[in-house]
Structure 1
Amino acid sequence: MVIGMRIKELIKSITLTILVISSIVLTLLIWNFTPDIADVDSELAKENTKSIGPRFESQINQVIAPLQLVHVHGTNIEGMPATREVNELSDIFAKQHINKVVYIENDQSLLLRELSDHFLILDYPTDIPIAIYLSDVLDVQAKVPNHFKFNRLIYDIDSAEHLVVYAIDETRHRAVKMTTSIKTSSAKNHLEELKMALRPYMNVSTNEDTVNKATYLYAPKAPENLKTYRTIFNHISVEDLNAILFDDTPIVRTTKSGNTIYNNNTGVVNYDPDRKTYHYTNLTEDEYSTRDMNISIPRTFDYINEHGGFTDDFRLFNTNKDQGLITYQMFLNGRPIFYPNQLNQILVSWGERGIFEYSRGLLKTNVTIDNGEKPKKLPTLEDVRGALASSNQVDYRKVEQLVVGYRMVSKKGPDNRLEIQENSQFEPIWFVKHEGKWYEFNDGELIEQ
C-alpha cells in the first residue's frame, strides 16, 4: 500500500515537471516568434501593382507557345494550329526529368538517324533558348549546350518506351537530343484527345536544308471551312499605362502631328491617337538593351504579366538579339493575327535593371464572334508553293515558314481615325515568313506586314 502511494506521488511529480518544462518552452517560443511576412508582403505587392488587365493571369507555357502541331505517321501527315489544348502537351513533363542529353551537328541538312516514322512536331515562330524553355516552361532541369536555341521540337513517340525529344535550331544543322523519363503513352494519349481537330498537312522542301522528315516545312494541305470573325475592341487607357511606367505625374504636350508626348526625368512616352499606339522609353536605362534572351524573355514576360499586359492571347513571336527587342503577338484560335501598324503586338526590350522600351497597341478585344458569312477556302499549299517557286520577286530558297493566320481589318471614319466599334474583322489568309520577315500571300505576291 505504501509502495503504491509512493509510485502515484512519483508519477504526479514527473507529470508536473513535464508540464512546467512545456510551459517554459512555449513561453520562450512565443517571446522569440517572428511572423514570416514574406508571403504577405508578396501578396500585398501583387495587390498594389497597377494594371491594365487581370494581373499574373497568363501562364508562361501559353505565351512561349508553338505556331502549330504536326503529326507524322509514316506517309500520313496531319496537323492543326497551336490551340490551348496543343500547348497543354507540355503538361506531360510535370514531375518528370531528362535522363540523357546528346548534341548533334551536321555540316549539311540535319539527319536524325534514330528518329522513328511516328512523331509529333511543334513549330515555333522564333528561336528560343533551350535552357529557358526547359526551366521556365517545362520546369525540368538538364545540362544543355550554352546559348543553344531552337524553333522546332520533335517528340519521337514510337522509338522506345520513353519519350525522346529533339530540339532543332533554325539553320537545320544542329539539334539537341533529350531522352526523358516520360512514357511515350502519355504523348499518345494527349494526341488521341486532339485527333478530331487534326487536318491533312503536307511537307515542303525549299532548299538543301529542308530535305527530310525532320527538316521539311509543314503546312495545311488545302485550308477550308475557315471562318471570318467580327470583333469589337475596348480602348486601353493611356493614363493607366502612364501610372505603371512613370513614378510621378508626367508633363503633357501635343506635337504638330497630333501625337501626345508625356515625359518626366525618368521616361518619355509618344502616344499616337490615330494609330492607337503607345511607345515608352526609360531614360534611366542605358540606350543599349540586354542582348541575352536568357535574361530578357523571362523578365519581360514577368513584367508584362504583373500589370495585366497580356490583354489578349499574346505569344512570343520574335526575338531580335541584335537589337535586344522581343515581340509578343496576338493570336486567335491558335493562329497569329497580323496588322501593319503594331496594334496586334507588344514590343519590349530589357535594360540593365528594368524595362528599356515598351510599345503596344491600345486596343483589346471585347467581343469576338463568327461574322455569319460563308466560311472561306484558301489556295492549296501546292498553289502557294508553286507561286512562290516561280516568282521573280521572291527567293524561294529563303522561305522559312508558311501558316494560315488572320489579317486584322479595321474600318476608318471620314477623319481617318479607326472606328474600333464598327466591324473590325479577322480574316483568314496565308502568311509566309521569308528571310526573317512575315508577309501576306496575295495572288502570288508577298505584302509586308
Structure 2
Amino acid sequence: MKYIEPVKSVVLFLLVMLSVILTFIIWTYTPDYKIIEQTEGKEILIGSQKRMEDIIRPYKAIYRFDEEFTGTASNGAMKDIMKAFQGWNVLDLVPINNNLTANYVNEMIRTNNRMTIFFTGEIPYSAFSSIFQFADKEIPETTFNRMIIDWTNYGNKDLQIFFISSNNKTLMRSHVSLQNTNPFIRDVIEPAKTYSAFKEIERDGFTSLYMPNDKIESTKYMYTFIEEPLESFKNVLFPNPNIVQRSIESAITEKYQDGKSRMTVDSNLKSLTYVYPAVESSAIIEPSKLLKDSFEFINEHGGFTADYRYVSKNTNKNQLEYQQYLQGLPVYSDQVISKITTAWGDNLIFRYKRPYYSLVFDIPTEKEIKELPSGVEIVEKIQQLNNFVLSDIDDIVVGYYLKQDSTSIMTLEPCWFVVHNGIATKLTPELLGGVVNGLE
C-alpha cells in the first residue's frame, strides 16, 4: 500500500508529459498538402465557334472593264476576295463626302478599272481590323456597306479604296501599298473577265441595280435536319438552369422561366426567343461595340450553327440580324425561321431569337439543277407589274426558299427574291402576277 501513492504520482507525471508532447506535436504539425488542380466548369457548345470574318462576307461583286460590267455572287469568289484582303495595310483613311448622292455613287462605280463589293449590312470599320491592318490608331466609329477598289495604278503597287455608307451617305477614301500586286490581279481581277455580263439598271435619283444578263443555273437541295436539344439552350441562357420551370402553353408553344427571364419555344417555326426584361435599355450603343458584344455572346455558346452572316442593324433598338446562307446564297422561309436576331440591353443580352434546327447533310439523289431567268428578265417583269416600285427595292437576289417536307427533311429551292427593308419576297411565275408575301 505504501507504493500506491508514488505510483500514482509517476503515472500522473507521465500522463502530463504525454499531454504536453501531443499538444506540441499538434501545434507544430504541418500536413503534406497536395496541390489541388482547379477544374473549370464544362463549356457548353451547341455548334462550332466562328471568327468575325466568317460572319462578315460580301454577297456580290461587280467589275468595270472597258465600259462594260461583269459580276458574280459565287461563294468561291467571295471567299477569294476576302482572302486577298488579309494583311492589307490600309493607309490614310480620310472622309471625302458627308452628303453623298446616288448619282455620285453611280458614276464612281461606272469608272473603268474598278470593282465594287456589296455587303448586306452596314459594317463597322473595327470589324475589319482582323482582316485589314489600319494605319490609323483610332478607327472611325462609323460604318460602310460598299467597297470600291480602283486598280488603275496597280503597276505602281498602289490600290485606291473607297468606303461607302448608304445609310449615312458618307464616303471615305484610303489606299493600300502592296509589295506585290500580282496575287490580287491574278486571283481577283483576272477571273472577273470570265464572269457573266451584268447590266446597270438605272433609277432616277437612286443608286443603280446591277443584274446578270444571262440565265442562272442553281441547284435544288433536299437536306436532313435535326433539332438542337432545348435543354442545351436552357443551360446556356439561364444563370441557374436548376431553378428554371418548364410549362406547356399550347400544342406548339412551351416556356422556360426562372422568375427574371423567359425562353419561349415555337415548334412550328422551330424558333426560340429568350428575353431578359430587367436589362432593357434605350441607350444607343456604338456600332462597333454592338457588333462585338452580339458576336461574342452568340459565339461563346457556338450559336452560329450554320453559315450565318451579319446582314442588318437597327441602331435605335440595339438590334442585329444574322441571315442563314447556303452555298453563298441567303436562305428565306415563311415556314420556319432562318435568322438570328439579338437586341442588346444594359451590358447584357435583352432579346435573343433564333432557330433551333440545323441542316445536317444533303441527299445526293435528290439534287436537281434549276434554271432561273436572268436578272434583266426579272427586272423587266417587275416593271410590268404594280406589285413593286423599282426605286423602293434594296436589291434583287437569288436565294433559297426553305420549306419543311417531313419531320426530318427540308427542301431548299433556288428562287429570285426582291429585298426591301430586310424583308425578302419570293418571285415565282405565279407570284409575279398575284399576291406577294414577305419572308424572313
Scaled by the length of structure 2, the TM-score of the pair is: 0.80
Partner AA of 1:314 in structure 2: Y
Range moving further from structure 2, 351-360 or 107-116: 107-116
Provide the residue aligned with 1:175 in structure 2: 171
Distance 2:294 2:100 in 1: 35
State the 1:326 CA deviation: 0.9
Q: Determine which of 80, 87, 91 is the counterpart of 1:99.
A: 91
**2:146 pairs with 1:149:** no
Output one character per residue of 1:401-449: Cα deviation in whole Å (capped at 9) or x when no partner. Answer: 11111111212xxxxxxx3413x11111111122453221233254311
The answer as to 2:257 corresponding to 1:263 is yes
User: Match of 1:431?
Assistant: 417
Structure 1 pair 356/255, CA: closer, same or farther in 2 (3 Å)? same
Task: Output the CA distance in 2 between the equivalents of 1:389 and 1:194.
Answer: 32
Q: CA separation in 2, counterparts of 1:114 and 1:184?
A: 21
**Cα distance change of structure 1 residues 173 and 244 upon mapping to structure 2, 3 Å threshold:** closer
Please list, as runs of the form range in 1=range in 2, the aligned pairs for 1:313-328 lying within 5 A after superposition.
313-328=307-322
SS class of match (1:205): strand
Measured after TM superposition, the shift of residue 85 of structure 1 is: 5.0
Checking the alignment, whether the CA contact within 8 Å between 1:281 and 1:357 is kept in structure 2 is: yes
The aligned residue for residue 387 of structure 1 is 381
Partner of 2:234: 242
Q: Unpaired runs of 5+ in structure 1?
A: 1-39, 211-215, 412-418
Partner of 1:187: 184
For residue 7 of structure 2, what is the aligned residue in structure 1? none
Shift of 1:352: 2.2
Q: TM-score, normalised by structure 1?
A: 0.79
What SS does the corresponding residue of 1:65 show, helix, strand or coil? Answer: coil
Partner amino acid, structure 2, of 1:119: R
Aligned residues: 391
Residue 31 of structure 1: aligned partner: none
Residue equivalent to 1:221:
213
Partner of 2:67: 75
Q: Which has the larger radius of gyration?
A: 2
C-alpha separation in 1, matches of 2:137 and 2:211: 33
Kept in 2: contact 1:231–1:366 (CA 8 A): yes
1:199 to 196, 199, 207: 196
Following superposition, the deviation at residue 238 of structure 1 comes to: 0.5
> CA distance change for structure 1 residues 435 and 244 in 2, over 3 Å: closer, same or farther?
closer
Matched residue type, 2:438: E
The answer to whether the Cα contact below 8 Å between 2:88 and 2:131 also exists between their aligned partners in 1 is no
Match of 1:8 in 2: none
1:421 is aligned to 408
Q: Structure 1 residues 261 and 172, CA, compared in 2 at 3 Å: closer, same or farther? A: closer
Q: CA RMSD in A?
A: 2.9
What SS class does the counterpart of residue 225 from structure 1 fall into? strand
Equivalent residue, structure 1, for 2:224: 232
* Residue equivalent to 1:122: 117
Shift of 1:342: 5.2
Name the SS for the 2:128 alignment partner: helix
Q: What residue in structure 2 maps to residue 208 of structure 1?
A: 205
Amino acid at match of 1:442: T
Contact 2:426 2:437 in 1 (8 A): yes
Query: Residue 99 and residue 152 in structure 1: after superposition, are their counterparts in 2 closer, same or farther (change >3 A)?
Result: same
- The amino acid that maps onto 2:175 is T
Q: Deviations over 1:278-297 (max 9, x none)?
A: 00012441254754322111
Residue equivalent to 1:448:
438
Q: Are 1:151 and 1:170, in contact at CA under 8 Å, matched by a contact in 2? A: yes
Q: Contact 1:335 / 1:404 at 8 angstroms: preserved in 2?
A: yes
Native 8 Å contact 1:157 1:187 kept in 2: no
Q: Distance in 1 between matches of 2:127 and 2:194?
A: 26
Which secondary structure state, in structure 2, belongs to the residue aligned with residue 48 of structure 1? coil
Long gaps (5+) in structure 2: 1-36
| Partner SS for 1:51 | coil
Distance 1:51 1:143 in 2: 35
SS at match of 1:322: helix
- 1:227, 1:370 within 8 Å by CA — same for their partners in 2? no
1:99 deviation in Å? 2.1
Distance 1:193 1:372 in 2: 35
Q: Conserved in 1, the CA contact under 8 Å of 2:279 and 2:348? A: yes
How far apart in 1 are the matches of 2:194 and 2:325? 18
Q: Percent identity?
A: 19
Cα distance in 2 between the residues matched to 1:302 and 1:123: 24
Cross-structure match for 2:33: none
Aligned partner letter, 1:448: G
261, 281, 302: which one pairs with 1:308?
302
The answer to whether the 8 A contact 1:90-1:138 is kept is: no
